[in-house]
Amino acid sequence: MAERERLYYFDNLKVALTVLLIAHHVGQAYGPTGGTWPIQETARAALLGPFFTVNRSFFMSLFFLISGYFAARSFDAKPGWPFVKSRLLRLGIPLLVFSLLMIPLQIFVFSAPGSDGPGSAWPIDVGYMWYVEHLLLFSLGYALWRAALGRRAAPTVCASRPLRVWHVLVFSFILAPVLAVVRIPFPIDRWDYLLGFFRVAFADVPRDLAFFVLGIVAFRRNWLKTVTAKAGRNWLLVGVALAAFWYAYSMGLYRVFPLDGAAFDVVRVTWEALLCSSLCIGLIVLFRDRINVHGRLAVALGTSQYAAYIFHVPVILAFQFAILNVSLPPLAKFALVTLASVPATFAIANAVRRSLHL
């Protein structure tokens, strides 16, 4: 029964996160990003710098937390091979198709700048589909762990003490130094390829994996349903305050309180861990209590969210290319492309989903 019960607030939250993801990728062409993007504008909007930092510090980990929650929920309903098969079909097939499409693109389209010859098909650059790769690996790892536990694994949700403030603080203050240590050899925005196809940014793996595991624990202990509205509101306020602090610091407060070297790194990882924890709790409770709607449009968006993730980058690039030579400020282009890309992406995703009867 639990598997058939649809938690609409999670669908709505994933839709909101996908909209934020679209905006984040739109901004890659118009802001001071540390990553790479096919379309690069000369003019850059400094305001998008802290926008990138705040986003990357929590929203993918929130995706992983939700995925961990549903991995535990799904395994309880369909344990063993049925669970593994469902993950291979839902995650593995789109990943395989995307990888096969990328091979000719890498050879004939995305060759090295200034090179007259073809590019290289290896390693396979899965780009933004790294999330699907990691989610598939984490899910299969969870299945192996449950198989190793056998009957010792709890098959049902158990009542436990509610989530406390000290739980969140201890988790965050353990995560922060782990991130700091990992980022010494693996700085942010460095991507490596394992086995030639597994795209990984080790700087973010501890955070994303920790929140996937936290989602499993949250399901087992029924935390996401028992966190009070007051606690959720307080954590959301903490997260918003931390985000506002980073905007203020990046846009001028750093002149008053300059930090560099080890001091900056300590503040950065501590801020990131607390921001991620507080926003994850606060946003889940907000959507649980206030945005648990399931009208026709909300259901269509929710069921199309995964397809929207898969198709959003080509849609963005099409709109960015269309206004490449239009004379507008970078923030105006950012707003214009975002407003166009969000509905177009979900419309295409919904059409594909319905045509494939998914």
Chain segment 223-248, per-residue pLDDT in tens: 988 999 999 999 999 999 999 999 99
Weakest-pLDDT range from 157-161, 198-202, 317-321: 157-161
Instruction: Confirm if 155 and 72 have CB atoms less than 8 A apart.
Output: no
Helix/strand/coil for 63: helix
Q: What is the pLDDT of residue 257?
A: 82
Q: What is the mean pLDDT of residues 103-128?
A: 68
**What are the structural domain ranges in the chain?**
1-56+295-358
Question: What stretches of 140-269 adopt beta strand conformation (E)?
Answer: 192-194, 198-200
Which residues are bridge partners to 193 per DSSP? 199
Q: What is the pLDDT of residue 86?
A: 95
- Closest C-alpha among 142, 151, 278 to residue 213: 142
Q: What angle do CA 35, 37, 38 make, to 5 degrees?
A: 155
**Distance between CA atoms of 350 and 18, rounded to whole angstroms?**
14
> Confidence band (pLDDT; 50, 70, 90) for 162?
confident
For residue 114, which phi and psi values (nearest 5 degrees)?
A: 85, 0
Q: What is the mean pLDDT of residues 36-65?
A: 93
Q: What is the pLDDT of residue 262?
A: 84
pLDDT over 90, % of the chain: 70
Q: What is the pLDDT of residue 1?
A: 37
Assess whether pLDDT exceeds 80 at residue 3: no
Chain segment 266-314, per-residue pLDDT in tens: 999 999 999 999 999 999 999 999 999 888 999 999 999 999 999 999 9
**Distance between CA atoms of 133 and 123, rounded to whole angstroms?**
14
**Distance between CA atoms of 272 and 258, rounded to whole angstroms?**
18
Chain segment 136-155, per-residue pLDDT in tens: 999 999 999 999 887 665 55
Q: What is the pLDDT of residue 72?
A: 94
